[in-house]
Amino acid sequence: MRHFSALRIPILFLCIFASALSGFAADIGAKSLDAAWMKAMKANDLEAVLACYASDAVAWMPGSPEASGEKAIRAAYQGLFAANTVQDATLTDAHYKTSGSLSAGWGRFTLTLAPKSGGAPVTVTGRFTEAAERRRGRWFYVADHASAEPPPSEAAKQ
């Protein structure tokens, strides 16, 4: 009986450790990066948004030319924040795949922007695809592609 009791503690420890790891594993890669990006966007925090991107990242934002590298990505977001206050940022139908130090994500986004020049808030919807890489113990976007949702086709309207 004593032998069984001695095994209980290591087994209990392993169960707790495995449970903690499974929670950690679900919170890695592009998924955790997206959570940080949404939080930063909702806070209108330019520096926190930029902290999501690798210095050599590339970003394609709806209706904008390619932003390659830290300086260009900063300018793209500065323009967005200079003209608008982000009221909400959500991701839906999101999917993630992570393997080692690489992670991919894709889905749909919605941004609600209040123009600083006045007028009613504008809702932008679209699709996103991203690649992230773990560097120096942190995840960073290395490629971020967002495109506006196209208008419905004539067939879909009928």
Tens of pLDDT along the chain (158 residues) come to: 444 445 444 443 333 333 333 334 444 899 999 999 999 999 999 999 999 999 999 999 998 999 999 999 999 999 999 999 999 999 999 999 999 999 999 999 999 999 999 999 999 999 999 999 999 999 999 999 999 988 887 776 66
Residue 17 maps to a domain: no
Q: How far is CA 127 from CA 70, 130, 148, in A?
A: 23, 10, 6
Secondary structure (H, E, C), 42-79: HCCCHHHHHCCEEEEEEEECCCCCCEECHHHHHHHHHH
Structure confidence at residue 154 (pLDDT): 76
Query: What does pTM read for this prediction?
Result: 0.80
Which residues have CB under 8 Å from 73's CB, separation 6+? Answer: 50, 53, 57, 59, 67
Residue 1 maps to a domain: no
Structure confidence at residue 24 (pLDDT): 41
Structure confidence at residue 157 (pLDDT): 65
Residue 15 maps to a domain: no
Residue 97 maps to a domain: yes
Structure confidence at residue 142 (pLDDT): 98
Residue 55 maps to a domain: yes
Distance of alpha carbon 79 from the chain centroid: 20
Total structural domains within the chain:
1
Within 10 angstroms of residue 93's Cβ, the number of other Cβ atoms is 9
Residue 95 maps to a domain: yes
CA distance 69 to 144: 12
| Residue 143 belongs to domain spanning | 30-157
Residue 51 maps to a domain: yes
Structure confidence at residue 51 (pLDDT): 98
